[in-house]
């Protein structure tokens, strides 16, 4: 295995971690108006991801940074070709982060409703667009001989991209619903379990369809195994949800995300950005890679720091592992300040 293979694999692992961790964050945000039928329940939902959501986003930053350093041609062509959807994702993530911090600053129902809409949009848009982008990448884009994107903004509306967006939306929503059921007590736990059962059926159809489509177009023997594993794990999650086993269900949806991402990157390798104009124009792990010296330095840095990051994030989840309920959410208190600040 060459260093280019190592870094392609590492980038795939970083995206896997991001989709697994941020996936349930997105699901919780999407379900805010569905499960959050009162202010207490909305605050409870936000508190389930409050200690971890910003740490989960670090995986995206590291994945983008690793792509920029290890495969600069891939990074440049990807960001130029998908500039508009990536800009929407960036704006959505910024709005979501601001909303988490600002929704409790003013004791006003209208104020909180507006920021809740920002949380929903900031969760829904990335959940759809990440699936559409990666589906387009593995399906191929219009790259010319200079590795410049020659397509248009409507290319993201291809049937394969739309199917990918629907699959990630439904999968992340189910993943989030299972997470809420795993992390809460009382009525909201039962409601989340019911939602997971309904969205899970749609997610199974969408994810299995996308994986089958991917297997037929670019699949290998290895991706056939991971695709089957992903579909089987999602079916197992549905069974576990109906049996009230949230822990097993969450583990199964996690396996689905891991297997689906492995299928995507496995089908992509050794390309990183296939060209639909001419296969000779495609970007591969060879012609898109940085210099061997750069890859060697990056490898030593990764070996030194990635275990530290994993240990720290694992410790964070261990500290905040317990369930929470509505009885642990303090009431909103008004303050006689000009802004009427009241943190939730």
> 172-230: per-residue pLDDT in tens?
999 999 999 999 999 999 999 999 999 999 999 999 999 999 999 888 999 999 999 99
Number of domains in the chain: 1
Contact 24, 181 (CB under 8 A): no
Range of the domain at 30: 3-324
Task: Give pLDDT, residue 343.
Answer: 41
Task: Give pLDDT, residue 219.
Answer: 87
- Whether the per-residue pLDDT at 45 is higher than 50: the answer is yes
Residue 204 lies in a domain: yes
Residues in contact with 57: Cβ distance below 8 Å, sequence separation at least 6, in sequence order: 22, 93, 97
Query: Where residue 34 falls among pLDDT bands split at 50, 70, 90?
Result: very high
Residue 329 lies in a domain: no
What is this structure's pTM? 0.92
Residue 143 lies in a domain: yes
- Whether the per-residue pLDDT at 115 is higher than 90: the answer is yes
- Whether the per-residue pLDDT at 337 is higher than 50: the answer is no
Q: Residue 172, Cα to own-chain centre: how many angstroms? A: 7
Residue 23 lies in a domain: yes
> 87-111: per-residue pLDDT in tens?
999 999 999 999 999 998 888 899 9
Residue 222 lies in a domain: yes
Task: Give the angle subtended at the CA of 307 by the CAs of 133 and 61, to the nearest 5°.
Answer: 30
Residue 342 lies in a domain: no
Residue 335 lies in a domain: no
Residue 294 lies in a domain: yes
> 133-179: per-residue pLDDT in tens?
999 999 888 888 888 888 777 777 889 999 999 999 999 999 999 99
């Amino acid at each position: 295995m060459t260093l280019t293979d190592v870094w392609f694999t590492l980038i795939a692992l970083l995206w896997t971690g991001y989709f697994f961790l941020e996936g349930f964050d997105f699901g919780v945000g999407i379900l805010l108006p569905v499960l959050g039928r009162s202010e207490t329940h909305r605050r409870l939902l936000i508190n389930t991801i409050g200690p971890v959501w910003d740490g989960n986003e670090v995986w995206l930053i590291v994945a983008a940074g690793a792509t920029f350093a290890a495969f600069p041609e891939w990074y440049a062509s990807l960001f130029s070709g998908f500039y508009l959807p990536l800009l929407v994702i960036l704006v959505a993530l910024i709005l979501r982060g601001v909303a988490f911090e600002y929704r409790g600053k003013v004791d006003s129902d209208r104020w909180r409703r507006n920021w809740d809409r920002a949380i929903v949009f900031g969760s829904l848009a990335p959940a759809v667009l990440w699936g559409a982008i990666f589906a387009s990448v593995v399906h191929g884009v219009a790259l010319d001989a200079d590795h410049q994107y020659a397509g248009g903004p409507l290319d993201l509306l291809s049937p394969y991209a739309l199917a990918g967006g629907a699959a990630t939306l439904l999968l992340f929503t189910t993943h989030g619903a299972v997470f809420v059921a795993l992390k809460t007590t009382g009525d909201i736990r039962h409601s989340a379990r019911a939602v997971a059962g309904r969205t899970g059926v749609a997610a199974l159809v969408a994810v299995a369809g996308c994986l089958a489509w991917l297997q037929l177009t670019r699949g290998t023997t290895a991706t056939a195994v991971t695709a089957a594993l992903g579909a089987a794990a999602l079916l197992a999650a549905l069974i576990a949800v109906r049996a009230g086993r949230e822990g097993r269900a969450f583990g199964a949806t996690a396996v689905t995300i891991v297997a689906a991402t492995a299928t995507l990157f496995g089908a992509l390798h050794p390309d990183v950005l296939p060209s639909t104009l001419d296969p000779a124009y495609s970007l591969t792990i060879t012609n898109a890679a940085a210099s061997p010296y750069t890859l060697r330095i990056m490898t030593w840095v990764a070996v030194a720091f990635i275990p530290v990051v994993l240990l720290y994030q694992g410790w964070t989840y261990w500290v905040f592992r317990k369930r929470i309920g509505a009885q642990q959410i303090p009431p909103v208190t008004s303050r006689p300040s000009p802004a009427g600040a009241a943190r939730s």
